[in-house]
Amino acid sequence: MKKVELVGVSKSYDRQKDVISNIDVTIEPGEFFVLVGPSGCGKSTMLRMIAGLEEITGGTLRIGDQVANRLPPSRRDLSMVFQNYALYPHLSVEDNITFGLDVKKIPKEERKKRALETAEMLGLTDYLKRKPRELSGGQRQRVALARAIVSEAPICLMDEPLSNLDAKLRGHMRSEIRRIQRRLGITMIYVTHDQVEAMTMGDRIMILHEGKIQQIGSPIEIYNHPANPFVATFIGSPPMNLAPADVAPEKSSLILPGGEPIRLPEGTLSGLQKGRVTLGIRPEFLMPAEEAEGHPVFRAEVTNVEVLGHETVFSFLAGTEEWTAKWNGQWQIRPGDRIPIAIDEESICLFDGESGALIKKPADRQRFVPEEATP
């Protein structure tokens, strides 16, 4: 296992404007580290710089204890899985898997042994003699993964490897990749624009926007305590509800655009000055009024409803902003209805109105399975 360290790393194509700016992060040995962000944020460029496929304009890249800025890709001791699989159509599955070993002059017996072990691990044993065109998308993805694993490199880079698969297969491959990474103990750096992949796979996540780090942390830490409004709306489905609000600490109230007040328990806004903030709350913390006794309640006009069977997701107007609520079960709600909605005031986030920095964290909502009492 090896760590990967980026110190002040930047990238510019014209030596004037950085597409990646001042990246400082250490990826620990054996960690599953996810780079996530919208298209064009620089995550694939960063992965390619680690791989040696892009030149580093500024800063230092260390792989293990070695400075790797000038190392060719072949000497960085890593493997990479691309979005388009990059399989050789004229070679069999087995030959695709062992192609890199052949280039490294690994003996034929050793190549065969590694290929069979890896194929068994990924359920490819019955397909070793087939060509890539005879395989499904998921099988091709597993071949590309096998080619990376068989190299036994301590670091594996993955660039949106599941984006070409259907939703059900993506879910299966997410758990399979995570299981293999744990079993082999390799350091995995995984690029995706899908926040569900980031939340379910990563030990830690780095969120990028316009080439800059927005936040680094564990998935649940980022979900519960987003550093700014961008992170709050990027992580979570449906995303966090946001609205500009005026703080009225003397009345323990937040005033939404349109004059809708949200009255909070005494002391909730203590320490905050009167002024403009951005209020944020997750859809699951907007509750049916009859099930949330003691919580602040306001009435809202429903604008859209989606009944999903196990839950009902609906939009409504909060002042002049459209918010989303997520309620368990099947609710008979129609657009145009005005309904009472309770707000879990302990779950409110407040962001600074100018800088966007988080100034009030929500309460910790993590739950734990109680341990059985020992006899």
Six token digits for residue 20: 């990646």
Instruction: Return the structure tokens found at 328.
Output: 């368990």
Contact 124, 142 (CB under 8 A): yes
Q: Give the fold, CATH level 3, of 4-224.
A: Rossmann fold (3.40.50)
231-360 adopts what CATH topology? OB fold (Dihydrolipoamide Acetyltransferase, E2P) (2.40.50)
State the pLDDT at residue 373. 52
HEC profile of the chain: CCCEEEEEEEEECCCCCEEEEEEEEEECCCCEEEEECCCCCCHHHHHHHHHCCCCCCEEEEEECCEECCCCCHHHCCEEEECCCCCCCCCCCHHHHHHHHHHHCCCCHHHHHHHHHHHHHHHCCHHHCCCCHHHCCHHHHHHHHHHHHHHCCCCEEEEECCCCCCCHHHHHHHHHHHHHHHHHHCCEEEEEECCHHHHHHHCCEEEEEECCEEEEEECHHHHHHCCCCHHHHHHCCCCCCEEEEEEEEHHHCEEECCCCCEEECCCCCCCCCCCEEEEEEECHHHEEEHHHCCCCCEEEEEEEEEEECCCEEEEEEEECCEEEEEEEECCCCCCCCCEEEEEECHHHCEEEECCCCCEEECCCCCCCCCCCCCCC
Which pLDDT does position 33 carry in this prediction?
97
What's the pLDDT score for residue 299?
86
The pTM for the full model equals 0.89
Average pLDDT, 10 consecutive residues per value, the chain (375 residues) = 92 89 95 94 94 94 94 91 86 91 85 89 90 89 88 91 82 87 92 92 96 95 95 93 85 78 74 83 92 82 94 90 93 93 89 90 81 59
Domain residues of the chain, as ranges? 4-224, 231-360
Predicted pLDDT of residue 307: 93
